[in-house]
Chain A
Amino acid sequence: MASAKVFVLRTCDGETFEIDESVAYVSETIKNMIEDGFGHDLIPLPNVSSKILLKVIEYCRKHVSNFESSKKTSNGDEKDKDNDSWKKEKEAVPEVEKDAEEKARVEELKEWETTFIDIDQQVLFDLLQAANYLNIKGLLVMAAEKAASMIRGKTPEQIRETFNIKNDFTPEEYEDIRKKDAMNDFTPEEYEEIRKKIADNHFTPEEYEQIRKENAWAIE
């Protein structure tokens, strides 16, 4: 039979990456694209940069090789070879016979994961979004868990500081924007941009109070 199939992915910054079929299939999104017939040429990934795709491919390759070695130490099934098996393997109780080998494999995986996800916040959030877009469940869970650990225990104010989220306009800035809005001093694109940013990030004091009230039940 022909050797394992290879697919070519192209990132938003124009770089291309060749990967095996088994590695490609770790991403549900890519798997669907291939099954829909888009695998013959380049598979474009306009939402993913090369830096992040490298990280994603590293994960996918580890996932595939980990699955292969887990098949040797447990009675893994072909039909388990999906993203859920990543989680199942972590929860599974090793069978008595290949217990030691299986334990070692799980230990090694945990260590690899800890190192893999030890990345700066910028890369983490990019990776989180890429895993979401590419629909790679295990990676999504790992990145989400890490992001949660970074924000756990912090107030919204502390989070804004730590992650440099500036979404509070001074009253003067906001007034300025309102005036320009009233005078129609923006191009349509500028206007759209501002509208979106205002809508997405800024709460009026009334809205803020409303949100606080809605959520007080869990905090008090």
Chain B
Amino acid sequence: MGAALSNLTEGANGSTDRPGLGDIPESCVAHVFMHLTPPEICNLARLNWAFRRAATSDAVWEAKLPPNYQYLLDLFPPDRYRNLCKKDIFALISRPIPFDDGNKEVWVDRVTGGVCMSISAKALSITGIEDRRYWNWITTEESRFHEVAFLQQVWWFEVDGSVKFSFPAGVYTVSFRIHLGRFFKRLGRRVCSFEHTHGWDIKPVRFELSTSDGQQAACNCCLDESEKDDANGNHKRGYWIEYKVGEFTVSDSEDAMEVRFSMKQIDCTHSKGGLCVDSVFILPSN
């Protein structure tokens, strides 16, 4: 027996010849993988052959997929997913899937496996959107939909939207992604202008949601800080902020649920403006 051979017959973990992590069979590794997240599993695929095989096993990935993943697959042409193993299905649906003319996107979170959704301002009903004195569309890379609605000035501020979708059972949070002030690049740096930003500190904006099975949630929030706080720096201007509307619960993922949401400030005694509306997010509450 040569020197190289005796090294090998010592066993894969060197000094001891009792089996260790490097020798546990693929089926055991698969059980361990049930308790790790997809990024962790994929990171370990190159450890050795048992880990690699376990990292592609259908049993592991079936457990990671949302229970109604077929519903998400139906957003694709059947050819796209026909011969895919469960791991590749997960990879496919973990990237944003556009639907509704590309104005909505849905995807599965890589770590948690939760179903997430984003709805563009283009899919929302914005009062006065067609009047360029009030609203304009801005092309920007700061939005996943590449376009946001900028409000110059209006008295009746109302943004409504809805979506009908089969979410897996769980609790979800709805939020509006908003930016006070306008933004652009000047000499490679991001710069904000608050020239038109006004009226948001006078009265709060009302956020509401309701579902087809009768759930409701609401909250009121001032989007801007009043003048006297400016000395400490205004923490609401110049950033994309997600304003939480509330939560809704899905008990049965078989039926599609319709979720309606809105944000309003319709007190016409004062005008408001200088605000960008990007999108609405529906994310699993953590």
The listed residue (A121, A152, A197) touching B20 by CB distance below 8 A is A121
Least CB separation from B110: chain A residue: A218
Q: How large is the interface on B (under 10, 10 to 19, 20 to 34, 35 or more residues)?
A: 35 or more
The interface size bin for chain A is 35 or more
Nearest to B25 among chain A residues (CB) is: A129
Query: B51: nearest residue on chain A (CB-CB)?
Result: A156
Confirm or deny: A215 has a beta carbon within 8 angstroms of a beta carbon on chain B. Answer: yes
Q: Does A165 contact B (CB under 8 A)?
A: yes
Q: How far is the CB of B38 from chain A (nearest CB, A)?
A: 5
B43–A186 CB distance below 8 A = no
**B15:A215 contact, CB within 8 angstroms:** no
Partner of B24, one of A125, A185, A218: A125
Does B19 lie within 8 Å of A126, measured CB to CB?
Answer: yes
Tell me, yes or no, whether B22 is within 8 Å of chain A by CB.
Answer: yes
Main SS at interface, chain A: helix
B48 proximal to A (CB < 8 A): yes
Nearest CB of chain A from residue B204's CB, rounded to whole Å? 38
* Contact flag A156-B28 (CB < 8 Å), given A211-B52, A217-B94: no
Q: Would you give 13 A-B contacts (Cβ < 8 Å), ordered by A?
A: A125-B20, A125-B21, A126-B19, A148-B34, A164-B15, A165-B20, A165-B48, A185-B2, A194-B5, A200-B48, A212-B46, A214-B45, A217-B42
The docked-state distance in angstroms from the alpha carbon of A140 to that of B49 is 21
Instruction: Name the residue of chain B whose CB is nearest to the CB of A185.
Output: B2
CB pair A190 B5 closer than 8 Å: yes
A144: which of B12, B16, B31 is its contact (CB, 8 Å)? B31
Question: Which A residues between 52 and 75 are near B, CB-CB below 8 angstroms?
Answer: none
Cα–Cα, bound, A173→B28 (Å): 30
Q: Give chain B residues whose Cβ lies under 8 Å from the Cβ of A186.
A: 5
Chain B residues packing against A (C-beta within 8 Å):
1-5, 7-9, 12-16, 18-22, 24-25, 27-28, 31-36, 38-50, 52, 55, 91, 94-95, 110
Knowing A144-B35, A190-B5, the reply to whether A122 touches B18 (Cβ < 8 A) is yes
Q: Known contacts A148-B36, A186-B5; can you find 5 more A-B pairs with CB under 8 A?
A: A151-B36, A194-B5, A200-B49, A200-B50, A201-B48
Q: Which of A128, A185, A193 lies at the interface centre, i.e. has the most chain B CB atoms within 10 A of its CB?
A: A128
Question: Is A173 in contact with B94, judged by CB distance below 8 angstroms?
Answer: no
**How many whole Å from B142's CB to the nearest CB in chain A?**
21
Cross-chain contact B20 with A180 (CB below 8 angstroms)? no
Q: Are B12 and A219 in contact (CB under 8 A)?
A: no
Could you tell me if A155 and B43 are in contact, using CB atoms closer than 8 angstroms? Answer: yes
Bound-state Cα–Cα, A102 to B197, Å: 58
Q: Tell me how far the C-beta of B212 lies from the nearest C-beta in chain A, rounded to whole angstroms.
A: 28
By Cβ-Cβ distance, the 7 closest A-B pairs, closest first, are: A215-B42, A165-B22, A148-B35, A218-B42, A163-B21, A144-B31, A166-B14
A179 to chain B, nearest CB (A): 10
Contact of B27 among A132, A151, A211 (CB under 8 A): A132
CB distance from B12 to the nearest CB of A (A): 6
Report the bound CA distance from A147 to B35 in whole Å: 9
Instruction: Determine the chain B residues whose CB is within 8 A of the CB of A214 once the complex forms.
Output: 45
Residues of chain B lying within 8 A (CB to CB) of residue A200: 12, 48-50
Measured CB to CB, the closest approach of chain B to A137, in angstroms, equals 10
What CA separation (Å) do A201 and B11 show in the bound complex? 11
